[in-house]
Amino acid sequence: MTATQRLEQATALDGPRRFYGMLARPLERWSGSELLRSGLVGHALHPVLTDVPLGCWTAASILDLGGRPSDRQASRRLVGAGLAAVGPTAVTGLAEWARTGREAQRVGALHGALNVVATSLYLTSYVARGRRRHGLGVATALAGAAVAGASAYLGGHLTTARKVGSRDPAYASDRVQDELGSTVAGS
């Protein structure tokens, strides 16, 4: 059994899973909730939106590691842009999470908790940079990158291994090849 499969079985994650369920309940009741999943583009929005904060934060780290003082303001702006994208990204992720089973929800709850930690570290980075404490800003951003990387692994597990992700019913008849070369209905 892999470490991720053990997470799926970890009843210790049921508390956070219930907490996220409480957060997701209003989204499920909202008549426009399908827009948060796939209503606009035909497939899950959450994976697309994750590229915005992760891309901004990665670009900030690249500038930071370059060490040029002239890049400090750009790094701070990139951290801020990533923070601005967190809200919509989180809401679409929560909307996807609400439609999964217990095991995927456990992993998703940990994914969400790690995202809260990463976002907190990037917020600390942003504030530190604004107070001209660039070293602290860089250190907390790099810590945020490590936590976000662990969270991204779990998100990738959910989308790839567990096939979590909405799509328009028009794609329900799509066929894909499985690993053995057999044609199977897409999920």
143 close to 119: Cβ distance less than 8 angstroms: no
Helix or strand run (H / E) with residue 73: helix 72-97
Structure token digits, residue 35: 């827009």
**Domain locations along the chain:** 46-164
Sign for the pseudo-dihedral over CA of 92, 98, 101, 104: positive
DSSP bridge pairs for 177: 183
**pLDDT tens track of the chain, all 187 residues?**
899 999 999 999 999 999 999 999 998 888 777 777 776 777 888 988 999 999 999 999 999 999 999 999 999 999 999 999 999 999 999 988 988 999 999 999 999 999 999 999 999 999 999 999 999 999 999 999 999 999 999 999 998 888 887 776 666 655 554 455 544 454 4
Check residue 186 and give its pLDDT. Answer: 47
- Three-class secondary structure of residue 100 per DSSP: coil
Sign for the pseudo-dihedral over CA of 140, 146, 151, 156: positive
Check residue 168 and give its pLDDT. Answer: 64
Query: How big is the CA angle at 182 (ends 177 and 187), to the nearest 5 degrees?
Result: 45
Check residue 101 and give its pLDDT. Answer: 92
